[in-house]
Chain A
Amino acid sequence: MSTAETPVTQVEKKQKKKTVQWGDDPKIGFVEALYLPAIAGGIATALKHAFFKKRSTAQYPEQKPEMPPNYRGVHRLNRDEEGRVKCVACYMCQTACPANCIEIIAAPAPQDDPKWANRDKFPATFTIDELRCIYCGMCEEACPVDAIELTSIYDLTGMSRQEMIFDKEKLLSVFDETSKAGLDPVRTNRGALGPASEKSLQSADSPPPPGRGKHG
C-alpha cells in the first residue's frame, strides 16, 4: 500500500487477510533455475523408455488378447445333454432385458416326440438384436435354467444390421463353437439352478453335462 495506512481494528485486519489470498509462485532453487539439469533429466527419462523398457503394444490381429472368463460378449443359447435347447421359454430374460433386445415366441413342446417328453414349452423362435444389446448380463442373471449366457467373444462384426440379429440357430451355433473351443464362460452351471433344470445337474455324482465350463 503506497498511501498512509488508515487505522483499522485488529478484527478488520484479520478479515482482510482472509478475503484476499495470493498464490505466490513456488520458490525455486539454484539447480532448478539453471533449467539444464531438469532438461537432461527429462531426456534421460525419455531415453530410458526408448531403449530399456518393454514395448506394451499388442499386435492385434495376430496376437489376440486373452479375455477374462467373466467377460460379457456375444450371447449363446446352451444345449442340454441331449442336444436340446436348454431354454424353457419362460420369458424371464426378455422381461429383465433393459434394452429390449430379446424376443422369444414360445411353443408347446412336441408331445409325440419322446425327446421332448419331459418338457412343456420350448422357444419356437429366440432372437437377440446384438446391436441393441448393452451387454449388461441381466438376461443370464434372470435365467432359471442357465440357458442364456454371455461368452467372451468380443470381435463381433457384420456387414448389415439384419446380419446382427441372431436367431435361435445362430445362438446355438455360438454355444457349439465356444464349448468346442473350451471358451465356456465362468458362470456356466454355477449351481444355483431352479427347479426347471434337468436332473443330472441336481445329483452330485452324475458326470458333468456337455458345455460344463472348466471354471464351473
Chain B
Amino acid sequence: MNWYEIWTELWPTLIAIGIILAVVPVVGLYATFVERKLAAAVQDRLGPNRVGPFGMFQAIADGIKIFLKEQIIPSHVHTFVYMLAPCISLMTAMFALVVLPYGPTPVNYDGGLRFVVMPGLDISLLIMFAISSLSAYGIILGGWASNNKYSLYGAIRSCAQFISYEIPMGLSVIGVILVAGSMNIETIVASQSSGDGISGWNLWWQPLALVIFFTSALAETNRLPFDLPECEQELVGGFHTEYGGIKFVLFFLAEYTHVVTVSFLTTLLFFGGWHFPGVPSEVTASYGILALQMLVLLVKVCGVVCFIMLLRWALPRFRFDQLMGLAWKGLIPLAMLNLVFLAVIESLEWHRWPLAVLSVVLFVAAGYWSAWQSQSFVRKASVA
C-alpha cells in the first residue's frame, strides 16, 4: 500500500470528520434558537427576535457572549476531573456520530464521496450504543467533581436512569436488527427500501418497538419529560450547577448532540432513512439524486428534533419512582415480549403483518394490565 492509496482512503474520512466537527456546534447553537422559538410559539410569545432578521443571529450572539465569559473554577472542586467531565461529555456525544450516516450511503462502499466517517462497519449500531453509554461518565464525573450535593444527586439519578433505559432501548433495537439481519446501519436502512418507498419502513412492522425506543432514547438524552438529572426545581441545576461559561456550553452542546443523534437513529432505524415515495431508493453516483436523498433524510431528522422539542412543552416531568417504574415494569417486559414474538415470527419466515398486530395487542394488553393493577390494588391499612 503506497501513500497514494492511503490518501485516497483518507480524504473522504477527513472530509466526513471535518463536516461533523464543523456542523455539530452550529447545529447545537441553532437548536437552542429553534427550541426557544418553538417554546415561545407554544406559550403564545414571540421568542428572540431582536438580533438580525427574525432573531436569526441570536444563537451567534449567545455563543460569543458565553465564550467570552470569565472562566471560574470553584475552589472546592476536584479541578482535574471537573475540567475533564465536560470534555468527556462532548467527546462521547460527538464520537457516537462516527457511525451515523448523515446522507445516503451504499451498503458496499468502495471509495469516493461519502456521508459517514466509518462506512461498512458490521457492528456500527453496537458501537453507537457502546459509545453513547459512555456519555454517562461525563455527567457522573461532573457531578462528583463539583463537590456539591445537588450535583451529585443529579449525577446519581442520571446514572440510574442511564442503566435502566439502556435495557429497553437495546431490546427494542434488537427487533430491528433481527428484521434486517444486520447490525450495520446502512444495511438496516437498505432493508427498509421498497418499490413505493414508504411501505418498507420498520415503523409499520414494529410500532411498539418505535415507542419503546423513542421513550428510552428521550430518557438517554436527559430531556423532558425525563430530565431528572438536571431538574431545576429540585436540584438547582443538577450535575452542571457548578459549571459556567464554556464548560457549561460543552455540556449543553453534548445534550443537543444527543438529541440530534437520537433523531438520526430514530429516522434511520424506523422511518426508512433516505427512502421516501418518489425518491429513488438506490444510492447512485448521481449528485442530484444524492442531494435529494440527503434532503429527505435531513427533513425527517428535523421533524423528529422538532417533535422532541414539542414534547418538552406537552408533558410534565416524571417523578423518579415513576421513571424507574416505567422502565422496569413497563418498557422492559413489553420490549422482551415483543422481541420473543418477533423472533418466533421471523424464524418461521411468516409474513410480517402479524408483527404490527402483535405490537398493538401487546400495547393494549399492557394498558389493561396497568389499569387492572391500579383498580385492584387496595392497600392494607396496617397500623403495626
Contact = CB atoms under 8 A, between A and B. Distances in A.
- Do A and B bind? yes
Interface of A: 1, 3, 16-17, 19-20, 22, 24-25, 27-34, 36, 39, 42-43, 45-47, 49-51, 53-57, 59
Interface in B296-324: 310-311, 313-315
A42 B44 contact: no
Nearest to A42: B314
B371 A32 contact: yes
Interface string B119-156: 00000000000000000000000000000000000000
29 contacts: A1-B384, A20-B381, A22-B379, A24-B378, A25-B374, A27-B374, A27-B375, A28-B370, A30-B371, A33-B367, A33-B374, A34-B363, A34-B364, A39-B315, A42-B314, A45-B314, A46-B42, A46-B310, A47-B310, A49-B42, A50-B41, A50-B42, A51-B41, A53-B44, A54-B44, A55-B44, A55-B45, A56-B44, A57-B40
B233 interface: no
A28 B383 CA distance: 26
Nearest to A5: B384
Contacts of A50: 38, 41-42
A30 B383 CA distance: 32
B286 interface: no
Interface string B349-384: 000000000000001101110110011011111111
A122 to B, nearest CB: 49
A43 B311 contact: yes
Contact of B315 (A25, A33, A42, A49): A42
Contact of A46 (B313, B370, B383): B313
Nearest to B47: A57
A33 B366 CA distance: 8
A57 B334 CA distance: 45
Contacts of B384: 1, 3
Most chain-A CB neighbours within 10 Å: which of B44, B311, B367, B378? B367
Contacts of A16: 383
Interface residues on B, range: 20 to 34
B371 A22 contact: no
Contacts of A56: 44-45
A49 B43 contact: yes
Contact of B41 (A20, A22, A28, A49): A49
Nearest to B369: A33
B134 to A, nearest CB: 30
Which 4 A-B pairs have CB atoms at the shortest separation, nearest pair first? Answer: A42-B314, A33-B370, A50-B41, A34-B367
B35 to A, nearest CB: 13
B46 interface: yes
B71 to A, nearest CB: 32
B368 A43 contact: no
B8 to A, nearest CB: 48
A36 B363 CA distance: 10
A40 B367 CA distance: 16
Nearest to B37: A50
Contacts of B363: 34
Contact of A43 (B211, B310, B382): B310
Contact of A36 (B211, B313, B379, B382): B211
Contact of A28 (B371, B380, B381, B382): B371
Nearest to B370: A33
Interface in B15-57: 38, 40-46
B374 A28 contact: yes
A27 B313 CA distance: 26
B44 A49 contact: yes
B311 A29 contact: no
A1 B379 contact: no
Given A33-B367, A43-B314, A47-B310, A55 B379 contact: no
A9 B363 CA distance: 49
